[in-house]
Amino acid sequence: MIGDTKVLFSGMQATGNLTLGNYLGALKNWVNLSEEYLCFYSVVDMHSITVRQDPAELRKRARNLLHLYIAAGLDPEKACIYFQSHVSGHAELAWILNCFTYMGELNRMTQFKDKAAKHSDNINAGLYTYPVLMAADILLYQADVVPVGADQMQHLEITRDIAQRFNKIYGDVFTIPEPFVGKAGARVMSLQNPEKKMSKSDENPNASIYLTDDPDTIVRKFKRAVTDSEGVIAYRDEQPGVRNLLDIYCACTDKTPEEAVKEFAGQGYGTLKAAVAESVVSVLRPIQDRVKELEKDKAYIDRIIKENAEKAEYYANKTLRKVKHKIGYPDRIR
């Protein structure tokens, strides 16, 4: 909360090829919620370096992600769309919060365990304290709501715990944030293994729909999607492949699972896959076209980057000044 205004914060990593999961689980909800809040959408490039990056590639991807935010429907004149690394307050607050976070808490983070297993040659301290930086992102802007996919829930819980711990010692410094997880698309699963979430780091390109995939590729990937041998289109745990297809269809068309099941009653999986592919193409195509236009408008994007970094910094510094004073850092003389 800033004054009387409710605040929304969320972010996405500029690493790998973004997937339909990132769009349906997060970005789509961001757009829907934007009108109601003072919004901060960060390209979280500081989180990206917990895994080794090619510098030129990271810079390019970060800028592409900013284009994508705008192309998906966020208005950068209203919502504060910015690069995390442009606001040093994230790093400063992360350090402070590190001193209010227990190793036992961080040891429980499932995403750390997964990533450490995947990058066993580079289990760095940043990977370990990643959730603290994420807590700093959110708390720095006094966010009331944080729209994320289901996989980020554990990080939201630790954010709330850290904030509550801090407030208990120093008074009401931080707003306690609530997660917002959408009904459809909160957990988009791999097309090749519906027990696993769709992930940009999946080695099998057929497992994920990338936001840059062309219509033919999308149709082909859905045709190859793993289903089952039941031959019935039903929305139930025993048919995770079919359920995932229905979830994607519902998230893209704003229908309920009941409506979708009714629509496909008596049809084969081929028909369902074709319809899902079409619904995805019609959602992604306008976004892809808009990204291409934005890429040509360097001056406009540069202005957005500059102005929004200043706006984010203004709000971040407000919280940071308060926090520094509370914990006993000597006040700056100006």
Find out whether 83 and 309 touch, Cβ atoms under 8 Å.
yes
Considering the complex, what minimum distance in angstroms separates the CB of residue 262 from ligand TYM? 25
Residue in 28, 115, 221, 273 annotated catalytic: 115
Instruction: Specify whether 197 is catalytic.
Output: yes
**Site stretch for ligand TYM (CB under 6 A), options 6-14, 66-74, 99-107, 285-293:** 6-14
80 binds ligand TYM per the rule CB under 6 A: no
What residues from 25 to 44 belong to the interface with ligand TYM (CB under 6 A)?
Answer: 25-26, 44
**23 DSSP assignment:** I
Helix residue ranges per DSSP H, the chain:
20-22, 28-33, 45-48, 55-71, 89-98, 103-107, 110-118, 125-140, 153-170, 215-223, 240-253, 257-263, 269-296, 298-327
Residues 182-211 as x/- pattern, contact with ligand TYM by CB under 6 A: ---xxxx--------xx-------------
Residues 103-142 as x/- pattern, contact with ligand TYM by CB under 6 A: -------------------------------x--xx----
Measured between alpha carbons, how far is 28 from 37 in angstroms, rounded to an integer?
15
Instruction: Specify whether 322 is catalytic.
Output: no
**147 DSSP assignment:** E
Measured between alpha carbons, how far is 159 from 108 in angstroms, rounded to an integer?
14
283 binds ligand TYM per the rule CB under 6 A: no
Find out whether 101 and 162 touch, Cβ atoms under 8 Å.
yes
Measured between alpha carbons, how far is 270 from 17 in angstroms, rounded to an integer?
27
Q: Which is nearer to ligand TYM, 271 or 277 (CB)?
A: 277
Contact pick of 38, 81, 94, 146 for ligand TYM (by CB under 6 A)? 146
Considering the complex, what minimum distance in angstroms separates the CB of residue 50 from ligand TYM? 9
Q: Which is nearer to ligand TYM, 159 or 227 (CB)?
A: 159
DSSP H/E element including 38: strand 38-43
Instruction: Specify whether 311 is catalytic.
Output: no
Measured between alpha carbons, how far is 21 from 27 in angstroms, rounded to an integer?
9
Active site residues: 115, 197, 200
| Residue ranges binding ligand TYM (CB under 6 A) | 9-13, 21-22, 25-26, 44, 47, 134, 137-138, 146, 148-149, 151-152, 155, 185-188, 197-198
